[in-house]
Amino acid sequence: MRGLVVAVARSYGEGWGRRRPTGEGNAMAESELRSARSADGTTIAYERAGNGPLLVCVGGAFNTRDVFAPLAALLHADFTTLLVDRRGRGDSGDAITAQEVVTYTVEREVDDLEAVIAAEGGRAAVLGFSSGATLALHAAAAGAAISALVLYEPPFALAGLPAPAPDAPRRLAQMIVEGHPGDAVATMQREVIGLPAHVVEEARRSPTWLALEDLAQTVVYDATITAAPNVPTPQMRALDVPTTVVCGAATWPGLRSSGRALAGELAHARYVEVVGGAGHGIAVDETAALLRAGLTGWEPV
C-alpha cells in the first residue's frame, strides 16, 4: 500500500444487543448487533440488517464495521448485510494479547470470517475493502464457504504497486510488545499505508490520535495480511469463485493498475471501475448499484 494517501479514522460501534435504524427517508430497517465465536475463542461482533442474500462486509486498516454503514443503508432491501468488526476493533474481542501479537497469522482472521458465515447459515458473498479485501481472498482460497467475492481496491503488489518492507510486521509487533502504540500507528501509516511523514505528524497532534492508538495492535494484523511479496498465491489464482475487483475511477492510479492486474490473474474474475471513490474511499452509490446488478452470471475477463 506504499505510495497511497489514505484517510484513516476511528469509527465506533453500537453497544451489545442494541438495535439502530438504518436506511434513508421512509426506507428504514432495523439492525441488530450479533456475535460469533472464532476458533481461538475470540468473540467477533457483527451488525446484521436488511433482507435478501447474505453479504458479509470486511474492512481494512483502522476500520470498524461503521465504514460500511452508508453502503448497508442503501442495500437493506436487496441484501442481508453483516458488517463485521474484525478482531481487536469496535465490539469484537481478541484472544491475542499484546505480548502474544507476534503469534498472529492470517489464518486467525480466516477463522473469524468463517465463524460469522457459519453463524448466519453457512454460505455468503463477501465484500472486502482494502486489506480486508486481501483477507477475504485469503479466506476464499482457504476453502471458506464464500459464494462470491467483491474486492474493493485490494492493495496487491502488482503492476508497479510496491509491497511494504518485509520486516514491517515484525517491527510493528515489537513496538506493541514494548508498549509504544503511537509509534506502531505512525509506522503503519508511513511505511505500510504510505502517508507522507508530515501528514502523520499532523495527525499525531490531532484529538483523534488516541482513538487510533486503541487499534494499534491491529496494525500488525493488516501489515501481516499485506506482507511482502503481497502477490496472489497459486490457490488464489485457481479459485473458482465469481470475483469482482472494484476500483474507484478517482482513486490512486497505482490501485487501479493493481486491481486490473489482479482480475487478470484470477481464474474467475472481472475488473469494474466505478465513478468516484477519491482518496481510496468507497464510492457508495456506485458500489450499491454494482452489487444490486448481480455478483454472478458474467463471464471472466
Phi, psi of 19 (to 5 degrees): -110, 150
Contact in structure between 133 and 153 (CB atoms under 8 Å)? yes
Is 195's pLDDT higher than 50? Answer: yes
CA–CA dist 52, 67 (Å, integer): 21
Q: What is the pLDDT of residues 196-249, one digit of tens each?
A: 999 999 999 999 999 999 999 999 999 999 998 999 999 999 999 999 999 999
Specify the domain boundaries for CATH 3.40.50.1820 within the chain. Answer: 19-163+229-291
Mean pLDDT, the chain, as a whole number? Answer: 90
- Output the pTM of the full model: 0.91
Q: What is the pLDDT of residues 43-95, one digit of tens each?
A: 999 999 999 999 999 999 999 999 999 999 999 999 999 999 999 999 999 99
Contact by Cβ (8 Å): 81, 59:
no
Q: 19-163+229-291 falls under which CATH superfamily?
A: Alpha/Beta hydrolase fold, catalytic domain (3.40.50.1820)
- According to the model, what pLDDT value does residue 69 have? 97
